[in-house]
Structure formats: structure tokens, C-alpha cells
Structure 1
Amino acid sequence: MIHTNYLIIGSGVAGLTFAVKIAEQFPDKKVTIVTKANEDESNTKYAQGGIAIVSDKDGDSYQKHIADTLICGDGLCDKSVVEMVIAEGPKRLKELIEWGAKFDKNTNGNLNLGKEGGHSENRVVHHKDQTGQEIERAILSQVHQKKNITVLDHHFAFDLIIEKNRCLGAYVLDQKTKDIYTFHSDFTLLATGGIGHLYGHTTNPVIATGDGIAIAFRAKAEIKEMEFIQFHPTALYDASTGTSFLISEAVRGFGAYLRTKNGHRFMLDYDERGDLASRDIVSQSIDLELKKSSDECVYLDCTHIDLEDFVKHFPMIYEHCKSVGINIAKDWIPVVPAQHYLCGGIVVDKTGKTSIENLFACGECSRTGLHGANRLASNSLLEALVYSDKIYTYLANTSFKNSQFRDTVSDWNMIEKPILNPVYIDEMKAKLQLLMRQNAGIVRNGSDLIAAKNQLNHWQDEIEEKTKNYQVRANLWELYNLIVIGQLIVQQSIERTENRGGFVKFN
């Protein structure tokens, strides 16, 4: 059994930022980060666009950013949360810069602010088209300077330890040695990111399997608004499943046009904002166009944009397109919507507390009330930064009478069991992804959802038996988690009776 004061599950911007702050505040306390891949592998790393923050008070305002967020959330945002997060933005940006994160500036030395769909002003702070990677780099450098932080990579947290609605830690698999450790913690933070690989076609990295939400659900935490899944409208078209390369929304903010294969700028038919409509509208419009035409993809036209400017702003996108034979000066980029972001998740209050005592959640796995029915572009990194700070502030300034450690928790049952054939896991995962794409995608209907629910319930029974009878392995428990997430999405989609934001259902 391993004792730690703060157990953080996940190593994206949410978990790392909290770790740095709490470690600095309490240098005599132990902070442990467990992450199932490399320490820098997270959804944060793949965030191209940037952070939406009001930094130009002359052309922009908190009220404009709040209004844009509320419009995008289609009536389901918690307005007080929206106001809190947006007002905190400049402080959190200042902090990142002090930690060494570098953001693009214009010729006047001011931040070079981008514009994305749904935003009324240029307010997206970015580092070329690799903003998340730059933020991750800067925060990790701070983590490595703190002697009381331990980072355990390739450690997979597969279940929480709960006693009388109180979280006491987690069971964690060391994927290299195959040992299982019982982590006892005063406080546990879930910062596990998204659910993209439930759909297969996703902009998320392969680690995005909804682990935090699934283990919280099994612990009976409140989970809400899982039906609100954001599909990014412009992932590079690829006939295979797996992680899709993202063509940032900022490319349309920079002037690119969406076209059918015949050259028609169809977005003007659907929304007066055209190519800069919010991503739910753009994704649904592309979906309708593809159903009408039976085409595999639509196209993003950048050929009228100055090539030198494009390469300067989007070097990674340019190089990736070039590597697959697309010359953006002459060729249109084939794109399709792909699963991108989950707006719901583990319900938390304004201090990041879940419905389970001593369990907190932050980042994409949490449901704060900021996004409502649809996330405004580049609000997610902002949310993670603000809420990790709120959790830190709460724990740093609240007195707790007694140590939360208990001696009643037993170690994981280590009876020798066989290893489940990975072919079974791969085949089941492929069937699950196909079911979710077909029955719970951009546009859903009642009969498809009922059919999906029945199939998922059957698979749930099957996979639960496997977890009892076979050795704990990350791929088996990831599949278990994905099925749980699928059930939550489908059930909450069935329960939602009105179309809002990114959610469209026909009965």
C-alpha cells in the first residue's frame, strides 16, 4: 500500500497545474501523478487552436466572451460559472507566461489573437498550431522542479477505493511490471481527459477512453449531460479508424472556405456566419451535405490564402498535409467531422468537488456547467486552468480536522488468473466503435438509440465477467470503461427530449 496526500490521475493541463500549485503550497506533503502513457501524452498536447481569453480590453470584453459562450451553450450553461471562468482567464494566462509558456505575438509585441467559430472577436491566444503542446511543456518543466511531486507514467488507475461515499484512493496497475498497487490518498483528483476512442474516428489520442468518468460512475458519482458530444467539423479525411489529424478551426478563422466537391460554399446555406458558425452547426451541416450527396467528405479551400502567412501560422498542419500529398496552395483539403470533445461528465461544483467526498474532477472528464449543450472553441483549456486553480484554492484554504487515511482498505485481490486474448478485445472494441458511430453519432434517432442500449447492456454483462475472470490489463479495463461510457451517452440521449446545441435527435 502506497500513501500519498494528493493522488492525481491524468497528466494533462488540469492535473499538472493542480500538482504544481499544491506541491508549492505544501512542500512537506506528497503529490503523486499517475498517468497511463508517457507523462506528456494527453488531450492537452493535441490542442491546436489555443486558449480563449479576453486580453484586448479595447476591442473585446468579458461580456462579449460571456455572451458568445452562452449562445454556443444553447441555454444550458450555468451563467455564474461562465462569468467566473471568463473573469479568471487573464490571471491564469499570466501564470502560464510566468511558468515559461510562449505565445505568438504581433509586430507590436502584443499577443497575436486568433478568431474561431462562435467568437465575436479575436481572443484566442495561441502558439502557432501547437498551443497545447507548448502549455504541456511549460507546466511539465515546473512539475520536474518540485521535489515532492512523483510522476508515475505507464500506471493505469482502474478503480477507485470508496467507503461510505468517501474516496480513499485508487487501485493502479503498473503496466510494465504488471503489479497492482493500492494508493491511499487524502484527496484524489480525476483529470483523465476525453472519450474519443469510443467512436474510433476522433481527434483525440489513443489514450482517450473515458477512464475517469467510468470509474467515477462505478463509484456512484453523479454523471450528467453525456449526450452533448462535440464533433470537430474538420478532421483530415482518412478511410481508416483511429486518431484523425485535426485541421484547426483557426484555419477557417484565418479565411479558409468549406466547399462541396463541386465547389459550392454550402455553409452560407445554413448559417449567416457561414464558415465561422459554431462547430455544432458546421458539423451538422457537413453531415447533412454528405447524406444528400453520398460523398465521403467535403473540402477545406485554403488556396486563396497567402502561402507564407499560412505556413507561419499553421506549420504543423502545412507539413502534415504535405506529407500525405496535399499541396494547400493548389489542393483542397478533404475533411469530415470527427468526435472531438465531451461537454458533459462528472458533475462538480465551483470548487471542483464531485458528489463523492474527497474526490475532485477537472478538465474534460468534468461537467462544470461552462459548456452547456456545446463548447465554444478554445474554452476548454481555459476551463481546465481555472478549475485546477479553484480546487487548489479550496484545498489550500480549508482546514480538515483529521487525516483521511484509513487502515480498513485491503489490497487488490492478486489471485493468479489467465490473460484475456487481445484479439477478443480488439474485435469487441471495433464493434463498439461502429455501433456508436452508426447509432449515437452527430444526428441520432430514438429507435437506433434503443437498439444500441440493448446491445451495450449485453456487452456490459459479458465484459464484467471478463474483468472478474482474467488478469487486470489496461486494454481489458479500457474496453470495460468504453462500454460504460457508451451506456451513459446512449441512456442520456434517450432521456433528452429536446434538441439543444450539439445534440440532434429524431424520434
Structure 2
Amino acid sequence: MTTDYLVIGSGVAGLTFAVKMAEKFPKRNVVIVTKANEDESNTKYAQGGVAIVSNKEEDSFKKHIKDTLIAGDGLCNEEVVAMVVKEGPDRLEELLLWGANFDVNDAGKFDLGKEGGHSEYRIIHHKDITGYEIERALLNKAHQLENISILPHHFAIDLVTNHHIAYLNSEELRCYGAYVFDQKSGTIFTIKANSTLLASGGIGCVYGHTTNPVIATGDGIAMAYRAKARIQDMEFVQFHPTALYEAKGESSFLISEAVRGFGAYLRNKKGKRFMPDYDERAELASRDIVSQSIDSELKKSGESHVYLDCTHLDMDAFIDHFPNIYKKCLEHHIDIKSDWIPVVPASHYLCGGIKVNKKGKTTIDNLYACGECSRTGLHGANRLASNSLLEALVYAHNIYKHLVKKDHVAFELDIPDWNDEGTTIPEEHILIQHNLKQLQAIMRDYVGIVRSNKRLKRAIKRLDLIYEEVEDLYKESKITTSLCELRNMINVAHLIIRQSLDRTENKGGYYNIDNLK
């Protein structure tokens, strides 16, 4: 297959870019590859909203920039922060034009929320399912454009670069598309593209306990890494402080930060409200502070979780603001009118990723990255709540602006077909599942919220054994999605551990006890 623009991922980053390019160039084709249903992405599960300065009377760009820089703990790119914050209102206008709906108050103005780390009310939201609403509007818009093709249940295995093409100069890294696995037919084919955008989302499943969906296996980062793109700041994994604790399974359902912004308290098992002991902002401290504080409480008590107390809040207003959270709690026999919600930190967001410049360009020509898989410099050592959707919107627009000006020259290349001669269908799926569970346990136990050099070095040794076993399996097996995802997660875990060992100073979401000595 040949296309003008190949997009890997169907969240807000990929869809925004696809819609803009397709509208601008009706005679050019955009192909979106997504490994699950077209609406399954990290975007869909974003509850809180989009941080945008819309109330200029009380808020300002300067305040939003300052809050972002404080959260990023000195490692943000200040030019990037200013650019993203100042473009927010324009990107919001586009979302409104494309049909996205956001909550308004009785005066007809945006009903703004406030989350940890924000000095003002600036979170634009749609109930507690903002990401779902944005995804709905973008997909609806994409379906109206005939030159956008969406391929659900198609898994991008690897990027095609000049390393695959023997007669090209191997010193000049360039991307020509991707090898793609049709999960329904079992066939592997090549998609040639003038420009390729990685918009593949996050890495949460590397830890198992995560607020991310099961598709968040770091595929784009792993593909870019194998293609020799620069990957940076992988040590900065953000743990969401309040995922619903489920004793029988892995934490997954997110209790939005906006709930604490609404006035909820964190309490330990004895009922003590402990956050004021750790930070003067109490429950409204940034995510890294709250997660580390909860981790400290759990280590002291030996308990498996803490509690979020909403019983003192205006219940009618709470249910109106957070109907999905209220419903989910009831499904777990938790009535927030009288019961505290058991919560635990869980892997939530990656602040690092594929290094890009302000135009979204990676270190490989013709390859761009956007959204959570990218490292733009906006988040620094710790992302400010609700800046992620904003970043995706702004960088999708920047990549679009860059490609509009770039010469669009079709290339004719003889790209070799995917070669799986001599491979067989893996007979024992249990090998993949066993290694996956081992990997996730290593990451949780040794590479979690609080790290040490000893734990990180142990993690590398154990990971190396899994890596060798999985690589042998990969070489001798027919492609399966679960095998490719495991291979990608091992690559991502390796990057997180190695870059953690390289960091000698605690910053933002990264905390190593040996850096205190």
C-alpha cells in the first residue's frame, strides 16, 4: 500500500493531524493504522480535561506557564511551554468547530475545573469523560473526509528505514513507512509513506498496574528505538496517585485528579488526613508529591491502599460533575455518600519518549511523533495535570504546518517484503504470558515510584534473561500481536531502567534514594 501520510495511532494526536492534512489536501491520502478498534486509545480514557487559559479576567498565560514550569521541576523547555500554552485557545476553537462539547455553567461560560498543581480554575471538561468526547468528535470529522482511511486491528510491527533497503546510503536515517500486521487475516504488508507520524500513546502496561488501556504497550517508542531514533527522559514515569484499588485484580480505573480539586481528602486507614504533613498544598500538590506521599504512607503502615474521602462534599454537585466515577464506585459496592474510596498509585503517563523538535520532527527524516509517545520538552520531570491533551493538539497542528510548507515528492523504492521464512506458529502462548507477568512484576517491584541503584541493577539482570528468551522466540515464530507487544515492552523497560541509572539527581516524578546520599 502507498499513501502520502501514514499515521500510527487513532487518539487525539493522530486524528487531529489526519483531519488537518486531509482537509488541506483533498487529493492526498491519509492512512491511519490502529491495533484495536478505531476509538480505543489513551485519549478515550482521559477524564479530567484540557488545560487552557480561557478566563483572562482571573487566569493568564503567565500563570499557566509558571504552573507548568513548577511541575516540570526545572527540566521543561521554557520556549516550548510558552508556545503550547499560548496556542491553547486557538486549538480549543478548532475542537468546538469540529463538534466537541464542553460543560458550561448557568452563565453560559465554560465550567472550569481545577486540578493538582494548577493555581487557577482552567480545566475545560465534558463531565468526567473529556477524552471520550474529543475522540468522538474527531472520529466523526475523520469519517466525513473521503481521503482518510482507517485500518482498525492492524498492528505496526516496525518502521521501514534505509537500513531495510540495501542500495541506499545507510548513514542518512530516513523513514519510508512501516511493516503492518493485519490481525484478522494474519498477513503482513508494507505501507509506503512520504511522511510517517507515530501517535501511538503510552507505556502503562509495562507496569501492569496502570490507568491505561491494555493497548498502551509502548509500541511507537520501541519501533523508533529499534530504528535508532533518539529516545529521552524515559525515567520520568508519572504515577497517578488515585487509581481505584481492586483487591482481586490490577488497578485500572482512574479516580480523576479533579475529584481532589473538587475538595476530596486523602486519608490513611486510621482516618488521618495525611497530605498536609507532606506539602502545604495538601491534596492539591502535584502528582509526583501526592504519589510519593501515598507510597510513604503505605510503606510505613504495610497497607495495600489509602482512601479518598468525598463524604463531606455536595453530593448532587459531585454526581453532576463525576457521573462516571460515581457509577463505577457503585459497581464496586462503594457508595461515596458514606464510604471512602480505596485508592492506590498506578502507572499513568510517560513524560519522556521519542525526542522531537517544535515541528514534531524526530531525529529520523520523514518521521514525526506526537502525543504521549513523544518527548517535546513541555513536561520536563513531571507533567502538569491536563496538559497532555493540549500538547497533542498543539503538536499535531505544528507537524501539519511544517508539512504544508515541505516539498511533497513521491518516491519510488523497492522495499523488500516482510520475510518470515522458517518461522512457525508459537505453540505455547503460556511462554508469552509468563514472561509478560515477570516483566511487569520487575517493573513494579524495582522500577516504581521510589527507586534505588541496587533495585535498578537487579532489574537489568532479570530483564536481560527475559529479553534473550523473547528474542529467540521472536526469531523462530510467526508474528502475533501479543509477542510483538511483549518485545516492545521489553525495549521500553530497558530504556526506563538504563535512563534511570543515568540520572543522578532527583527531579519531579523521578525519585532514587541513592541520590540523597
Q: Which residue of 2 aligns with 1:65?
A: 64
**Residues 423 and 475 in structure 2, CA contact (< 8 A), matched pair in contact too:** no
**Residues 460 and 494 in structure 2, CA contact (< 8 A), matched pair in contact too:** yes
Q: Which of 476, 487, 507 lines up with 2:494 in the alignment?
A: 487
Q: Which residue of 2 aligns with 1:14?
A: 13
**Residues 299 and 333 in structure 1, CA contact (< 8 A), matched pair in contact too:** yes
Q: Which residue of 2 aligns with 1:248?
A: 256
| TM-fit CA distance, 1:239 | 2.6
Deviations 1:49-103 (A, max 9, x none): 0000000000000000000000000000000000000000000001001100000
Q: Which residue of 2 aligns with 1:230?
A: 238
SS in 2 for 1:353: coil
Distance 1:333 1:240 in 2: 16
Counterparts of 1:228-307 in structure 2, within 5 Å, are 228-242=236-250, 244-307=252-315
| Structure 2 residue 128 is matched with structure 1 residue 129 | yes
Deviations 1:472-495 (A, max 9, x none): 111001000000000000000000
**Residues 243 and 251 in structure 2, CA contact (< 8 A), matched pair in contact too:** no
Deviates more, 1:269-278 or 1:459-468: 459-468
Name the TM-score, length of structure 2 as normaliser: 0.97
Distance 1:162 1:416 in 2: 24
Distance 2:250 2:369 in 1: 27
Q: What residue ranges of structure 2 are gaps of 5+ in the alignment?
A: 163-169
Q: Which residue of 2 aligns with 1:312?
A: 320
Deviations 1:22-71 (A, max 9, x none): 01111111100000000000000000000000000000000000000000
Distance 2:315 2:66 in 1: 34
Q: Which of 409, 416, 419 lines up with 2:425 in the alignment?
A: 419
Q: Which of 406, 415, 420 lines up with 1:409 in the alignment?
A: 415
SS in 1 for 2:159: strand
| TM-fit CA distance, 1:458 | 2.2
Q: Which of 348, 351, 369 lines up with 2:356 in the alignment?
A: 348
**Residues 197 and 242 in structure 1, CA contact (< 8 A), matched pair in contact too:** no
When residues 7 and 432 of structure 1 are mapped into structure 2, their CA distance, relative to the original with a 3 A threshold, is: same
Deviations 1:237-292 (A, max 9, x none): 01344451100000000010000111111000000000100010000000000000
SS in 1 for 2:512: strand
SS in 2 for 1:444: coil
Q: Which of 358, 362, 369 lines up with 2:366 in the alignment?
A: 358
SS in 2 for 1:116: coil
SS in 2 for 1:443: coil
Code of the aligned partner of 1:456: L
Code of the aligned partner of 2:332: V
SS in 2 for 1:137: helix
**Residues 28 and 147 in structure 2, CA contact (< 8 A), matched pair in contact too:** yes
Q: What residue ranges of structure 1 are gaps of 5+ in the alignment?
A: none
| Structure 2 residue 199 is matched with structure 1 residue 200 | no
Distance 2:502 2:402 in 1: 34
**Residues 114 and 125 in structure 1, CA contact (< 8 A), matched pair in contact too:** yes
Deviations 1:400-433 (A, max 9, x none): 4x32x23231010142632222111111100100
Code of the aligned partner of 1:145: Q
**Residues 356 and 369 in structure 2, CA contact (< 8 A), matched pair in contact too:** yes
Code of the aligned partner of 1:336: V
Deviations 1:369-395 (A, max 9, x none): 000000000000000000000000100
Code of the aligned partner of 1:274: A
Q: Which of 324, 328, 334 lines up with 1:326 in the alignment?
A: 334
| TM-fit CA distance, 1:181 | 0.9
Distance 2:382 2:420 in 1: 43
Code of the aligned partner of 1:273: R
Deviations 1:340-369 (A, max 9, x none): 000000000000000000000000000000
When residues 172 and 242 of structure 1 are mapped into structure 2, their CA distance, relative to the original with a 3 A threshold, is: farther
Distance 1:238 1:416 in 2: 44
Distance 1:238 1:344 in 2: 29
| TM-fit CA distance, 1:461 | 2.0
Aligned residues: 504
Q: Which residue of 1 aligns with 2:184?
A: 176
Q: Which of 474, 478, 494 lines up with 2:481 in the alignment?
A: 474
**Residues 422 and 476 in structure 2, CA contact (< 8 A), matched pair in contact too:** no
Deviations 1:428-474 (A, max 9, x none): 10010000000000000001101111221222222112111100111
Code of the aligned partner of 1:322: L
When residues 500 and 453 of structure 1 are mapped into structure 2, their CA distance, relative to the original with a 3 A threshold, is: same
Code of the aligned partner of 1:450: K
Distance 1:418 1:233 in 2: 43
Code of the aligned partner of 1:368: T
Distance 1:434 1:36 in 2: 25
Q: Which residue of 2 aligns with 1:156?
A: 155
Deviates more, 1:450-459 or 1:131-140: 450-459
**Residues 85 and 383 in structure 1, CA contact (< 8 A), matched pair in contact too:** yes
Aligned-CA RMSD value: 0.9
**Residues 200 and 241 in structure 1, CA contact (< 8 A), matched pair in contact too:** no
SS in 1 for 2:451: strand
Code of the aligned partner of 1:261: K
**Residues 226 and 345 in structure 1, CA contact (< 8 A), matched pair in contact too:** yes
Deviations 1:284-331 (A, max 9, x none): 000000000001110000001111111100000000000110000000
Code of the aligned partner of 2:260: R
Distance 2:147 2:250 in 1: 37
Counterparts of 1:73-222 in structure 2, within 5 Å, are 73-163=72-162, 164=170, 165-222=173-230
Distance 2:272 2:466 in 1: 43
Q: Which residue of 1 aligns with 2:459?
A: 452
Distance 1:197 1:296 in 2: 20
Q: Which residue of 2 aligns with 1:501?
A: 508
Distance 1:72 1:281 in 2: 10
Distance 1:210 1:491 in 2: 16
Distance 2:206 2:422 in 1: 30
